[in-house]
Amino acid sequence: MVEPKLRLGEQLLAAGLITEDGLREALAEQKVEGGYLADRLVELGLCDERALLRFLAEISGAKYITVDTLAKATLPADALEKIPARHAELLCVLPLAFDGKDSVLTLAVPELEQGLFEQVRLAAGVAKVQPIVALRATIRAGIRRFYYADHYAFATLDHGTAKPVVRPALRESIIARSSAPKPAPQPASEADLVRAELSRWKAVAELSRVLARERNVKALLHRALAFAFDHLPADDGVALLWDPKAKQLAPRAVRVRSGETSEVPVSETLLKEIVSEGGAITTDAALDERFSRSQSIMMSALRSALGVALQVNDQLSGALVFGTRGAQAAVFDPSHLALAEELGKELALAIERIGTFRREEAEGLTRDRYARHFPPAIAEQVNNGQVELRATGERYKASVLTARVIGDGELGEGGSPAALVGALSLHAEQMADVVFAHGGMVLDNPGAHTVALFGVPRERGDELDRAVVTAQELLERVQFANELRIAEGRPSLQISIGLARGEVIVGVVGERLRAQFTAVGHPLARAQQLAFAAQAGELVIDDEPAAALEGRAGALQPGPLPGSQSVRRQA
């Protein structure tokens, strides 16, 4: 359905279902958040889900199923039993129904692919697969709901199209600093109070279980709102996160009970009270003098408001705001306030856990990335910020060394791919050890090459000398390794080395999880050219660095290429 992604975008553009600006916005969001273009278009409100699915179904001749239909469905056990949960997750398919008479399995799929249908048919042991098109996000939510009994699986998908809008108050100065008035609790027996308390704690335990599985803040907010709607008489709810740059709470998720509201107003007065006081507030808007003259509340026909701060150790991370609207609407009572407070605590802790997880993940990725490229001491300095290394790219005057493995196709014993890869991996590790020992940086390179830079991330003045010493030790290390390989009856390994010097640009390329350091510049191409021209066991040096060495590299001879000189390792 979404392969290739740009092709789908072009089809939707031609059909008039999206605009060029909308496509660009969806692709930009996809680049940051990942996932699939169709899901992003619907999630951002840039394309109607039903219209998109209808279009895909028409061009493929299939039927389609929307998220609201699937969220309300009850799937038969005999259909779910045909495909194990793990296979459903792996293939991104969801069994919807099974016709035992004709042995037909109806399946929700994100794209119509005959190879997938045949794979499912054989695995399920049915005569035929009947596909129904759905969005990937819808199918994955269905898998969580119907296989794992995740009752809030559809929370991120069925929240409607209402937009939260923060409206300014008429007079902000009238906010009082006293607690909100609370309706007097109704008389209740001790047994009723105990049952209510047990019910609240059971709901909180369920909430904690639901939130603990999430690793996405946006999904976390929608799940929290869905939970609140199961336990509070709210007509609408908005989740806001603290924006440190704007220094204010910004809406990030919204949910309405009726599904017909196009806009959910949020009182700026209420938000100011939450930010200044923290904790939770419940109020009857018609009686509370703090909000009685607030224009935003009067305009929205708010009957009762409930707001709770999301904070851990007095550090504000967001807020939840719920409202009931209309003269006959319910008023939030102290039991609702208590539940909202627990919800706020659990949600704040979950948001903090995700933030900590992401920071640790980023630090771990960064630390591992630096460790792949730099000697331990320099990697630690770069990671701690003691040495600046701009990921966006910076110019350096560096000595560049390229060591090329000669005859790598003969390294695999008996042509074994595993033996070849193992030999090259060990060789790369040994080469990196030598480079690191002399303060060099190793670049990620495919195949059997080692590329090292000396002078990055900072110049010391002896980069060329260290590069030459490194080259000589690399040749010696290979000679020693060959003695062991020959004694074990394995083919020997030979390398040739090229050395050049000049200006290079070093930076980070690739997505966050696959980011790696790379370098560009004439010295890299020249070092590689010299390495390919050199013979086994030979170091070939460009003329400019050779002249600077003034004979310190040994007995230099004319090189194999114009403008180069070479030195042979003594056997």
- If we measure between CA atoms, which residue out of 68, 80, 143, 138 comes closest to residue 106? 80
CATH number of the domain within which 195 lies: 3.30.450.40
Q: Which domain holds residue 517?
A: 382-568
pLDDT band for position 510 (cuts 50, 70, 90): low
User: How many other CB atoms are found less than 10 A from the CB of residue 347?
Assistant: 26
**429 and 518 housed in the same domain:** yes
Domain finish residue from 84, 113, 148: 148
41-77 pLDDT per residue, tens? 888 888 888 899 998 888 878 899 998 899 889 999 9
414-428 pLDDT per residue, tens? 556 666 666 777 778
Who has greater pLDDT, 481 or 381? 481
Please give the average per-residue pLDDT across 280-290, as a whole number. 65
**176 and 115 housed in the same domain:** no
479-493 pLDDT per residue, tens? 888 887 788 777 778
Please write down the HEC assignment for all residues of 264-310. EEEEHHHHHHHHHHCCEEEEECCCCCCCCCCHHHHHCCEEEEEEEEE
Range ranked top by mean pLDDT from 98-107, 372-381, 440-449, 512-521: 98-107
**419 and 304 housed in the same domain:** no
Please give the average per-residue pLDDT across 248-266, as a whole number. 80
pLDDT score for 170: 34
Amino acid at residue number 177? R
**170 and 278 housed in the same domain:** yes
pLDDT band for position 361 (cuts 50, 70, 90): low
**118 and 168 housed in the same domain:** no
Residue 149 dihedral angles phi and psi, to the nearest 5°: 55, 35
- Say if residue 543's pLDDT is above 50: yes
pLDDT score for 135: 92
pLDDT score for 150: 84
pLDDT score for 159: 59
146-179 pLDDT per residue, tens? 998 888 888 877 656 677 777 654 333 222 223 4
pLDDT score for 96: 94
**127 and 229 housed in the same domain:** no
**129 and 169 housed in the same domain:** no
CATH number of the domain within which 406 lies: 3.30.70.1230
Amino acid at residue number 176? A
pLDDT score for 181: 40
- Range name among 17-31, 129-143, 379-393, 546-560 with the lowest pLDDT average: 379-393
CATH number of the domain within which 16 lies: 3.30.300.160
Amino acid at residue number 417? P
**425 and 337 housed in the same domain:** no
Please give the average per-residue pLDDT across 85-110, as a whole number. 89
Q: Residue 346 falls within a domain, yes or no?
A: yes
**Residue the block writes with tokens 């495919």:** 446
| Beta strands 128-133; 104-109: pairing state | parallel
Q: Residue 366 falls within a domain, yes or no?
A: no
- Say if residue 2's pLDDT is above 50: no
**392 and 443 housed in the same domain:** yes
**80 and 199 housed in the same domain:** no
- Range name among 96-105, 140-149, 319-328 with the lowest pLDDT average: 319-328
**259 and 229 housed in the same domain:** yes
Q: Residue 371 falls within a domain, yes or no?
A: no
Mean pLDDT, the chain, integer? 78
- If we measure between CA atoms, which residue out of 58, 25, 59, 57 comes closest to residue 42? 25
Query: For the packed helices 5-14 and 20-33, what is the interaxial angle rounded to 10 degrees?
Result: 160
Q: Residue 176 falls within a domain, yes or no?
A: yes
**386 and 525 housed in the same domain:** yes
Please give the average per-residue pLDDT across 188-200, as a whole number. 70
- If we measure between CA atoms, which residue out of 502, 522, 515, 520 comes closest to residue 454? 502
pLDDT band for position 502 (cuts 50, 70, 90): very high
Which residues, 6 or more positions from 414, have their beta carbon under 8 angstroms from its beta carbon?
none
Q: In the chain, how many domains are there?
A: 3
Distance of CA 208 to the CA centre of its chain: 23
pLDDT score for 115: 76
Can you give the C-alpha Rg of the chain in angstroms? 32
Q: Residue 230 falls within a domain, yes or no?
A: yes
Q: Residue 331 falls within a domain, yes or no?
A: yes
pLDDT score for 389: 61
Q: Residue 373 falls within a domain, yes or no?
A: no
Per the rule left: phi > 0, alpha: psi between -120 and 50, beta: everything else, 190 is alpha
- Say if residue 87's pLDDT is above 70: yes
pLDDT score for 134: 92
Half-sphere CA count of 195, side-chain side, radius 13 A: 5
pLDDT band for position 374 (cuts 50, 70, 90): confident
Who has greater pLDDT, 485 or 529? 529
Q: Residue 299 falls within a domain, yes or no?
A: yes
List helix spans (H) across 48-180: 49-60, 67-71, 77-80, 85-91, 114-124, 136-148
